[in-house]
Amino acid sequence: MDQSAIDALGAAPIASQSMWIGGRQVAASDGETFDAISPIDGQVLAPLPAGTADDMRAAVAAARQSFEAGAWSNMAPAARKRIMHRIADLIEKHALELAVLGVRDNGTEISMAIKAEPGSAAATFRFYAECVDKVMGDIAPTDPSVLGLIHREAVGVVGAIVPWNFPLMIGAWKIAPALAMGNSVVLKPAEVASLSLLRLTEICHEAGLPEGVLNVVTGKGAVVGSALAHDMDVDVLTFTGSGATGRRLLEASAASNMKPCYLELGGKSPNIIFDDAPNLDKAIAASAAAIFRNSGQVCVAGSRLLVQASIYDEVVEKLSQQASTMKVGNPLDLTTQAGAVSSDVQLAQNLAHVEAALSGGARLATGGQRILQNSGGYYMQPTVFADVTGDMKLAQEEVFGPVLGVIRFEDEAEAVRLANATVYGLAAGVWTSDLGRAHRMVKAVKAGVVHVNTYGGPDITVPLSGHKQSGNGSDKSIYALEKFSKLKTAWIQL
Ligand code: NAD
């Protein structure tokens, strides 16, 4: 990657934005807009349409119309697959542009964004492109006098609501499998990270996706997100975001057409270091990255570090040293290790969690402050709290910021008890040289992904599934196709 190319893209003006309904770029029906603000410097990037409930109804109607017309849903699978590969080609071609646009919108450091955003989105489109002509129906082992055919069909109109931390990656996790099964999609991006998804939609159309198959409505969650969730003509809702919004979506489903509502929610993931970790320094470095990259705005962030008592002081000291020397700053600088917090609202929430941890009795080992105020942007020091106990707010509630709580444990049984003592179950990490213990921990820890002697990095081939209140579905992998297809039986008398 070339810093001068990033700088040029980072300084380029951003045009006023439009939504996508029925293949056309449109303004909000009442003409209202809101500003995309860059967390890098607090400046306005571009006006965005503030969609209305009527706009959302029009988008759903366009998706329905395209689905029933069949331009995509009835396209030969080989042709659909070609278009999805072309989308991946174009994402790769415009990778730096997409990454920089997203970074300007949400503040993720570019070194991470380039892989996690366009890199991951392209891989996702390729993976599901290859599924298009490989997912088949079945023939049931019936009595010979009948033929039982099991068809796998598209569900119809998929509503997708996504958060701001990795818009392209998570957007692709929804859009690509839904398209692979032949559905039409209505996407609602997060208010603070819409730009790269609007550009992705343009790319999809350039690649040959028929009109009305992918529609995007920008605006407030409580207005357009809620309208999508309540719409009687949306067949499936897929959501990534907070538990509070997830609950509202389940209520919306119950209050409307009882559409299946798949939720990928937050976490308070335990990262557990035993005193037989194969390489303690590697474990400490990976544990710092697991909470401080993207300023902790990662759903699977290792935000609770559980450390065995015999190595506790050493780990706290070395980790604090790493945290205090991390380079926090302009996310468009290739050497930055942690970029900006996505918004002033999120920054204020992070600082409130620091105050609560202090008044709850945790010991601040390093960090805790807002920094680089002169930039006008939203930056925070990587923060480590020691002497955290399982009952503290910091050990129970998701911060979604660069704030780590370090908890002491004596033995394996206590590690398991502490690891499972939250409402969440998204991810976990285990550092040990003992193969038996590694397998026991994978089995005992209630989480959708358990990393062993590493943290982060699972690719598109494996599912991300929230256990407990971290969710009820799976994104990624071949299993995600289940959400976007339904079974139909043909029972034929021979
Ligand atoms: P959020 O719930 O505030 O917003 C997510 C989306 O929901 C946004 O598009 C928002 O506009 C929309 N929304 C808000 N209110 C709505 C309503 N009443 N009706 C319909 N839609 C509404 O979450 P966020 O702050 O954007 O994202 C952070 C959360 O996402 C964290 O909890 C994080 O852990 C979680 N997350 C989970 C995963 C995962 O895969 N499990 C991945 C990334 C982020």
314: CATH: 3.40.309.10
Residues 100, 220: one domain? yes
CA distance 63 to 212: 5
Residue 188 Cβ inside 6 Å of ligand 1? The answer reads: yes
Q: Is 19 helix (H, G, I), strand (E, B) or coil?
A: strand
Confidence grade of residue 38 (pLDDT, cut at 50, 70, 90): very high
Residue 357 Cβ inside 6 Å of ligand 1? The answer reads: no
Residues 47, 159: one domain? yes
Q: Is 331 helix (H, G, I), strand (E, B) or coil?
A: coil
Residue 56 belongs to a domain: yes
Residue 221 belongs to a domain: yes
Domain span at residue 308? 270-458
The pLDDT of residue 107 is 98
Residue 464 belongs to a domain: no
Residues 333, 376: one domain? yes
Nearest CA to ligand 1 atom 40: 264
Residue 480 belongs to a domain: no
Residues 276, 212: one domain? no
Q: Where are the beta strands (DSSP E) in 27-156?
A: 33-37, 44-49, 138-139, 146-154
Residues 82, 153: one domain? yes
The pLDDT of residue 1 is 77
DSSP structure string for 182-238: T-EEEEE--TTS-HHHHHHHHHHHHTTPPTTSEEE--S-IIIIIHHHHH-TT--EEE
Active site residue 109: no
The pLDDT of residue 36 is 97
Residues 224, 319: one domain? no
Residue 485 belongs to a domain: no
Contact of 320 with 365, CB cutoff 8 Å: yes
Instruction: State the amino acid at position 341 in one-letter form.
Output: V
The pTM of this model reads: 0.98
Q: Is 454 helix (H, G, I), strand (E, B) or coil?
A: coil
* Substitution candidate for ligand 1 out of 120, 124, 161, 249 with most atoms within 8 A of CB: 161
CB-based burial of residue 65 (10 Å sphere; 0-12 exposed, 13-18 middle, 19+ buried)?
middle
The mean pLDDT of the chain is 98
Atom of ligand 1 nearest to the CA of 244: 2
- Active-site option among 131, 299, 398, 412: 299
The pLDDT of residue 460 is 98
The pLDDT of residue 232 is 98
Last residue of a domain, one of 230, 265, 300: 265
DSSP assigned state of 249? H
pLDDT tens column, 273-296: 999 999 999 999 999 999 999 999
Handedness of CA 409, 413, 418, 424 (dihedral sign): positive
Query: What is the count of structural domains for the chain?
Result: 2
Residues 76, 193: one domain? yes
Last residue of a domain, one of 248, 265, 282: 265
Nearest CA to ligand 1 atom 11: 221
Residues 75, 200: one domain? yes
pLDDT tens column, 359-381: 999 999 999 999 999 999 999 99
When pLDDT is averaged across residues 251-268 and rounded to a whole number, the result is: 98
CATH number of the domain enclosing 166: 3.40.605.10
Residues 293, 370: one domain? yes
Contact of 105 with 124, CB cutoff 8 Å: no
Atom of ligand 1 nearest to the CA of 189: 9
Residues 220, 296: one domain? no
pLDDT tens column, 444-491: 999 999 999 999 999 999 999 999 999 999 999 999 999 999 999 999
Helix axes 77-93, 167-180, angle to 10 degrees: 170
Residues 10, 89: one domain? yes
Atom of ligand 1 nearest to the CA of 188: 9
Residue 371: CB atoms within 10 Å: 14
Residue 152: CB atoms within 10 Å: 16
When pLDDT is averaged across residues 9-22 and rounded to a whole number, the result is: 96
pLDDT tens column, 321-370: 999 999 999 999 999 999 999 999 999 999 999 999 999 999 999 999 99
pLDDT tens column, 392-414: 999 999 999 999 999 999 999 99
- CB crowding 429-453: b at 16 or more within 10 Å, else e: bbbbeeeebbeebeebbbbbbbbbb
Residue 76 belongs to a domain: yes
Residues 258, 274: one domain? no
Q: Which residues contact 316 (CB under 8 A, 6 or more apart)?
A: 307, 365, 384, 386, 406
Residue 473 belongs to a domain: no
Last residue of a domain, one of 226, 242, 265: 265
